[in-house]
Amino acid sequence: MKDIKMGIGFTGSFCTFTKIVKVLEELVEKGVDLYPVFSDHVAEMDNRFWRATEFIAKVQEITGRQGIFTIQEAEPIGPKNHLDVMVIAPCTGNTLAKLANGITDTPVLMAAKAHIRNEKPLVLAVSTNDALSMNMKNIGLLMNVKNIYFVPFGQDDWVKKPCSLVAHMDMILETAEAAMEGKQLQPVLIPYEKK
């Protein structure tokens, strides 16, 4: 992955942010050049896991790069054609639904749209409580779209949240590597340990 240029879009599944930070550190250690893109909610909303400003500062410190915060800043990703792969991690149900229906109303969605116009891989690391209900149709639809790949996922708490799926964030790198070869990393469904 050395010298790979990877866009990394953050959407509002705040409970996964600490795992994502660790993944970013590992990617940078392996020589991946990261370009962070923040959804409006991530950029503006404090939550019980992180203050928005602290998360942004941490990501920018790790990546060594100023983030992209607006649709206007994200749009040139397409014409510049400088990314090898784009990852959305975490990818919320809201983002899944909009992506599946061609809605581009956040910086992350614009970055994704701009990137896939170049027929390069877009990797989704799902994290949503409605994946096995309202969003299952969107996951199925996106799994059949050329150049879109999924980080393997599993039910993170099937007792309290039976419709929830969360990607195995530690598999982002190997999923991106497979995606750049035009392959979906398998298996896609990997169970989490029982709680």
Identify the three-state secondary structure at position 16: helix
Distance CA 58, CA 17 (A): 11
- What is the signed CA dihedral for 130, 164, 188, 111, rounded to 10 degrees? 50
Distance CA 23, CA 37 (A): 16
Give how far the C-alpha of residue 12 lies from the chain's centroid of Cα atoms, to the nearest Å.
10
Under CATH, domain 5-180 is a member of which superfamily? Answer: Flavin prenyltransferase-like (3.40.50.1950)
Non-local CB neighbours of 148 within 8 Å, separated by 6+ positions = 116, 121, 122, 124, 142
Whole-model pTM: value is: 0.96
pLDDT tens by residue, the chain, 195 residues: 568 999 999 998 988 999 999 999 999 999 999 999 999 999 999 999 999 999 999 999 999 999 999 999 999 999 999 999 999 999 999 999 999 999 999 999 999 999 999 999 999 999 999 999 999 999 999 999 999 999 999 999 999 999 999 999 999 999 999 999 999 999 999 999 854
pLDDT (0 to 100) of residue 193: 81
Residue-range domain boundaries for the chain: 5-180
